[in-house]
A and B are shown apart, each in its own frame.
Chain A
Amino acid sequence: MSAVLTNPALPPVRESPGLWSLAWRRLRQDAVGMVSLVVVAIFIAMMAGSYFGLIAKDWNKEKGVSYANPSFLAGSENLEARSMGAKDAAAKAPPVDLSDVDPLAPRYKEWEERAAKIAVTETKRSEVLPFGGDKWGRDVLQKAIKGSEVSIFVGLSAALLATLIGTMLGAAAGYWGGWANDLLEWVYNVFTSIPYILLILAFAAVAATSGKFGKGILPIVLILSLTGWTGIYRLMRAEYIKHSNREYVKAAQAIGASNWSRMFGHILPNVSHVSLVQLSQHVVGFIKAEVILSFLGFGVPVDMVSWGTMLAEAQNELVIGKWWQLFAAGASMAILVTAFSLLTDSLRDALDPKLK
């Protein structure tokens, strides 16, 4: 034996940790990564809570006056609310006496008596809401929470789906080459040769007219992911072309590993950083794309709220100086998107065993 380095004193009894458990262990040591993970988890919990009606259930109630001030700006003037109040007051003013000509006049008294029997509670619209109100006096904070349901779901699931499609197709084209590559490149060229918005609208039109996917969130997810996979596909294909000629893949072939295992067991962990970064970028992009779709009327139905519809509303409000709706939606989006990007960065580092 040559230069034996054996060390029999050290017992080898230890659980063999897999890639993922090691990655989790490394992620836990990363302060930034853990904070981002917590933030993302809070957002997802918020989304789930609002979906099951635990929080922000009555976001649709008109609780405040029109454009109610946020509580931290309670004192400032609210011209819009005052003018609305004036209109209401005008409506309540006693009508002109028409009893001479009105054939129903004798019955008014009877009706008034009957109406008095029904208890009517006049809801007192509050002047101030925690984060301000919108045009109809709905609570902006609750709207933002309810809106996260649509936005996060659309952003995350569309990005996941697009990354999945892009990765699978990219892997197939890059690994197999030949006619599989030619075919997929052709599809890719067709997709990228059409202007993006036009492509989205075309898909949206198909989804709307066929009506197979119903109305609501699902068609948006499908539209965004079916049009958004191309960039990911291009990058993954390049990575697969590069890696499928590497010696470790040849070595795996030599020991008899199947094509499937080489593609996804050997190469994928080595290129996963690319899809992770793409995933985080696309989450951001798709949350914004949902805004565009909603704005154009292909997005969420009118009885739902998303950060996108909030931003669309905020355009008109900004002109009259009501900035809080924009701020609520924009800040929620910024915090989530930043946390998510940092999380994927940490995840990428955690998945690389070379970085300690």
Chain B
Amino acid sequence: MSAMTPPELILQVQNLDVRFRVDRKSEPFAAVKGISFDIPTNTTVALVGESGSGKSVSAMAILGLLPENALVSREGRILYGGRDLLKASMYELQDIRGKDISVIFQEPMTSLNPVFPVGEQIAEVLRLHMNMDGRQARARVIELLNEVGIPNPQLRVNSYPHEMSGGQQQRVMIAMAIACEPKLLIADEPTTALDVTIQKQILDLIASLQLKHRMSVLFITHDLGVVGDIADTVVVMQSGEIKEQGPVKAIFEAPQHPYTKALLACRPRLDRRPKRLPVIDDFMKGDGHVHLEERKRGTTPSDPIILEVKGLNKTFYLKEGLFGKRAVPAVKDVSFTLPKGKTLGLVGESGSGKTTVGLTLMRLHDATSGEVLFEGRDLLSLSEKQMMAYRRRIQIIFQNPYASLNPRMTVGQILVEPMKIHSIGKDEGERVGMAFQLLRRVGLSEQSFYKYPHEFSGGQRQRIAIARCLTMKPDVLICDESVSALDVSVQAQVLNLLQDLQDEYGLSYIFISHDLAVVKYISDKVMVMNEGVIVEMADSDEIYRHPREEYTRKLLSSIPKGYELAAQPS
């Protein structure tokens, strides 16, 4: 090997270039274009970028886990302990993986094997790499579970993955990753699938483990906000290139590259509420001038009410034993009003019942009791036929844009179908014309009409879902975690679109989310839910400035602060 790794660096990535063969005809797609960065010992390096920026591909290249169709150029080198990992044999890599370099994936639910107890899965790593016998391994597993903060480790060691919450599963994954005292831990979006409060706990855990074990962490995320607290160095990537890298302080306080500035600015903030959120294009193409004008939010008692919910209850029944049933109340006595043309934010953690409220309003679930008054008529007591007239007027945008569009229908068919059902438009020609108009309105090209959903990115798919709702000219739009699955930069674009549509058509929104910063930005009134009950409800500025309940305060304190002084757009 020509160059030895300097002792203060644990890993060096030099000129890494990864391309993917798509098919025989076209040129290989360049995912990573000759990047170089170092990971010093005992530090946390954050690799930040949007989906498709090549950040995960870089991490997988370090572990030698690239898919079959990847082409790695010969000039690139990944130096670890005097060896080039790109040229290492399969056996050498197997030895390094899990022992020296370990990884935590995004989805703990799918990364754990559901048919083995978690203790056994951790013990397997120990037996493979540390040559421990069964008893030693079990003792070490309990120690590890204790270290990652699982209560009652002696008992939980025998639990199956489904018996644990998402946060606990991610802790188990971390325990597995640190089991062999690795020198480098790669965390690939470890908190994206988790609630804010859990995210905060996991971030704290990773930071404390890094300090305690004196290891290095490569932290991959799309959200610059979350790395502010834990990273020492930040590497910003966009479309396969490194745009900027430096110490976290420099990146947050004096970002040089417009892309970094944009990433910092596009996350909604608690202390400000601009008319529009800044987006990447404002920085990359425009003059860097951002709309700083503040938007006023809030409700007044004299606002006309479009939707009123009174004493809504929803109970699910679980089968228990042969004949038994157990009642699980998901929503308990929820009442609220939605003023016309305003946004009601609905915040809570997973399992708080906020999604059930949304689905029950749409009658996608049958309510157990209660009233939903829309222009004075109780929607819950209408027959299916009478409901058709109102279906059109309340619409919902789901969380997962990958699942909510039928993969076998073209975008055109998706948009025309609701118009056909509700006899909107005279004939097919007029409907197609309206579909084209709406596609333009949500910022998609007219060619999209002929494409299938899988040809679009997550943000674009969410635009299609929005356009589908708009075909029916609804009055109330329920956004169920509609931006949660999107990158922060794309999230800003979609939020802006929703805001523009509200200004233009006077839509009323019920905005359901676990992200408090987003809810604060978009809502006039905020309702906090926990375990099926409304904990607190007030105007959005009020609730963030003076939270009255303990639970609300806890939620607010878990928002990643990042570097608050940063992101001052010029």
A residues touching B (Cβ–Cβ < 8 Å)?
1-7, 10, 12, 14, 16-19, 246-248, 250-258, 261, 266, 269-270, 351-354, 356
Partner of B403, one of A247, A256, A261: A247
B412 proximity list for chain A (CB < 8 A): 16
Partner of B450, one of A14, A269, A352: A14
**Whole-angstrom CA separation of A6 from B405 in the bound complex:** 22
Which of B362, B445, B465, B497 has the most chain A CB within a 10 Å cutoff? B445
Is B241 part of the binding interface, using a Cβ–Cβ cutoff of 8 Å?
no
| Interface contact A254-B447, CB-CB below 8 Å | no
**Whole-angstrom CA separation of A16 from B446 in the bound complex:** 12
B418 proximity list for chain A (CB < 8 A): 255-257
**Whole-angstrom CA separation of A5 from B23 in the bound complex:** 27
Partner of A256, one of B276, B392, B492: B392
A257 proximity list for chain B (CB < 8 A): 417-418, 421
**B436 (CB) vs chain A CBs: closest residue:** A12
**Whole-angstrom CA separation of A3 from B277 in the bound complex:** 11
Known: A4-B443, A6-B440. A255 touches B400 (CB 8 A): no
Chain B contacts with A in 173-197, Cβ cutoff 8 A: none
Is B150 part of the binding interface, using a Cβ–Cβ cutoff of 8 Å?
no
**Whole-angstrom CA separation of A246 from B406 in the bound complex:** 10
Is B159 part of the binding interface, using a Cβ–Cβ cutoff of 8 Å?
no
| Interface contact B493-A353, CB-CB below 8 Å | no
| Interface contact A256-B407, CB-CB below 8 Å | no
| Interface contact A251-B408, CB-CB below 8 Å | no
| Interface contact A353-B407, CB-CB below 8 Å | yes
B388 proximity list for chain A (CB < 8 A): 256
B413 proximity list for chain A (CB < 8 A): 16, 18
| Interface contact B468-A255, CB-CB below 8 Å | yes
Pairs A–B under 8 Å by Cβ, sample size 21: A1-B443, A1-B500, A3-B280, A3-B493, A7-B447, A10-B446, A12-B446, A12-B449, A16-B449, A17-B410, A247-B400, A248-B404, A248-B407, A250-B359, A251-B398, A253-B364, A256-B391, A256-B392, A258-B421, A266-B406, A351-B408
A6 proximity list for chain B (CB < 8 A): 440, 443-446
**B463 (CB) vs chain A CBs: closest residue:** A5
Main secondary structure of the interface of A (DSSP, over half): loop
Known: A1-B443, A256-B418. A251 touches B465 (CB 8 A): yes
**Whole-angstrom CA separation of A251 from B398 in the bound complex:** 8
Is B422 part of the binding interface, using a Cβ–Cβ cutoff of 8 Å?
yes
B393 to chain A, nearest CB (A): 11
**Whole-angstrom CA separation of A211 from B396 in the bound complex:** 57
A19 to chain B, nearest CB (A): 6
**A14 (CB) vs chain B CBs: closest residue:** B450
**Whole-angstrom CA separation of A16 from B418 in the bound complex:** 17
Known: A2-B493, A2-B496, A2-B500. A254 touches B364 (CB 8 A): yes
A282 to chain B, nearest CB (A): 23
Known: A2-B500, A12-B436. A255 touches B417 (CB 8 A): yes
**Whole-angstrom CA separation of A5 from B447 in the bound complex:** 11
B425 to chain A, nearest CB (A): 15
| Interface contact B446-A353, CB-CB below 8 Å | no
| Interface contact A353-B449, CB-CB below 8 Å | no
| Interface contact B391-A12, CB-CB below 8 Å | no
Which of A10, A251, A258 has the most chain B CB within a 10 Å cutoff? A251
B422 to chain A, nearest CB (A): 6
**Whole-angstrom CA separation of A2 from B406 in the bound complex:** 26
